[in-house]
A and B are shown apart, each in its own frame.
Chain A
Amino acid sequence: MPMVLLECDKDIPERQRHIYLKAPDDDARECLPIANVPTIPGTLSERGCAFCGAKLVIGGVLKDTIQMIHGPIGCAYDTWHTKRYPTDNGHFNMKYVWSTDMKENHIVFGGEKRLAQSIHEAFDEMPEIKRMIVYTTCPTALIGDDVRAVVRQVMKERPDVDIFTVECPGFSGVSQSKGHHVLNIGWINEKVGTAEKEITSEYTINFIGDYNIQGDTFLLQQYWDRLGIQVISHFTGNGTYDDLRCMHQAKLSVVNCARSAGYIANELKKKYGVPRLDIDTWGFNYMAEGIRKVCAFFGIEERGEQLIAEEYAKWKPQMDWYKERLKGKKMAIWTGGPRLWHWTKSVEDDMGIEVVAMSSKFGHEEDFEKVVARGRDGTYYIDDANELEFFEVLQHVKPDVIFTGPRVGELIKKMHIPYINGHGYHNGPYMGFEGFVNMARDIYNATYNPIRFLAAQDIRDPLPLVMPERLREAA
């Protein structure tokens, strides 16, 4: 039986269909964890809501756009100060969040006037900002406010502003994934093709599904600049609203996060004939392959080879130093979805690390097809893992380090297992060649941390602790 029923799940046996333990002779086709289905109430799942998938993950990254959240205050408060996506204009996107602060009388009598007023105020208070995304939330969707009508009216009154509406209340879909979808499809249908920008290179791309976590976008932008490629739009790391209206102008869509942004790349292909190229940007081997493919598409292979050679010369020796010391370490990945398949093989190839367990919060079955194809035998592949499953699997696989969020990180600290922020990183960027060295360095610093030896010691033990000699070396 390839799908596993964990001991902690004996009362919720349907969880068996979500947990796969890969064995050498399995036919992977028969063993696909079921994904993107409703969570069982009370399981302590780690999933968020559709609203956050749209606002926090994608829209809120933009550096020039007001994010107006039509709802009670919590939806704004909660999707603020939880991300690390800087911008080159002073992090406008991380500093502010906007809410219509709905109260009971707006629930009873409707919140449309409140929304209009809040939109006008926001533009008045920040007169240099001319772009906005309006989001509905659970209660505004339930009471049926006509948000689009309000937005149309405001745009009529303020001809210099442009506003995009996202209608995905938190209860829609089963996870943040629904919000990605709604924003992607809405944007292509309503905004792409409504602006044109100056073309400065015959090689133009959209870079899709990268959110500038700790400067990922900044780092990759250096590569595109060196290759002479113009990035028409970043969806959405360090991106602007108007650049995203010009996505149709690109000759190629290069996709990193296919889960959160594959939809728009697909639609660009269907609607505008812009081909979609999926690449992996974490890892030496993968990054080089991605650059080679982009350059082959444009017929500028030599530029690509030169860049790869320069980057390898600069960073590969450092990576190899870490690989020597990380070889055989065991890692678990407990994140959103795509990082499972982006990382499982690249940490193995570039760092010698074995990924022994993975859980995805909002991945679809497509993500599991990818990760099971790439991942190791003997590894757990779990959809929407909950806390008790997490503890049980840890007992089986005993990882040396876990890539996950800060809350789970605090939990495993008590179990003497170091965590690295798998969403916002510890000290990134992690993409690209330099970035992957950063990631290796963070894993080295985590797994060669003296604290775990100290933590294991009971001071009542007759034998005093003997610390390993020269645990760490100068990198």
Chain B
Amino acid sequence: MKNHALDDKVDDLYGYIEERCLWQFFSRSWDRQENIDGVLDQASRLLSGKDPARSTPMESLFYADAKILVADVRERFPWLDEAGEEEVRQMMDDLKGRLVENVITRSKNRELNHHLY
């Protein structure tokens, strides 16, 4: 198996999310941030073999999105099986940063900070 540098791995994961995940493109900055944190936190747990949090409706929602995401990326990127907890954490942190940068900070969508829905 090719030994991916962390950046390449994050590229792969980011590429998947960019193309498939609608939750990154919610209407406002704050709910994009909420989704990025929520889904990726659940994904971290799942990738690290931990139980997901499912005690609130929002946690169940993030779990639902994360579960499908994790199943898909595991299938596409076999190197994930070998990632340790620390590497997963690192990847997810970088991924969050990349997502925040692309869909919030640098997004040209002029409605992201509208005070109303």
Residues of A participating in the B interface, judged by any CB pair closer than 8 Å: 28-30, 32, 36, 185, 251-252, 258, 262-263, 266-267, 269-270, 273-280, 289, 292-294, 296-299, 345, 364-366, 369-370, 373-374
Contact = CB atoms under 8 A, between A and B. Distances in A.
B interface: dominant SS: helix
B60 A275 contact: yes
Given A273-B57, A275-B60, A369 B65 contact: no
Contacts of B20: 374
Interface residues of B, number: 30
Given A277-B64, A365-B108, 8 more contacts: A29-B107, A32-B109, A270-B117, A364-B109, A365-B111, A366-B25, A374-B19, A374-B20
Nearest to B108: A32
Contacts, number: 88
A193 B23 CA distance: 26
B64 to A, nearest CB: 4
A373 B18 CA distance: 6
Contacts of A364: 109, 111
B90 interface: no
A366 B109 contact: yes
Contacts of B31: 266, 269
B111 A277 contact: no
B83 interface: no
B53 interface: no
Contacts of B68: 289, 292-293, 296
A203 B60 CA distance: 13
B48 interface: no
Given A185-B117, A278-B22, A289-B68, A369 B109 contact: yes
**Most chain-A CB neighbours within 10 Å: which of B57, B103, B111, B117?**
B117
B58 interface: yes
Interface string B86-117: 00000000000000001100111111000011
Given A29-B102, A374-B19, A369 B64 contact: no
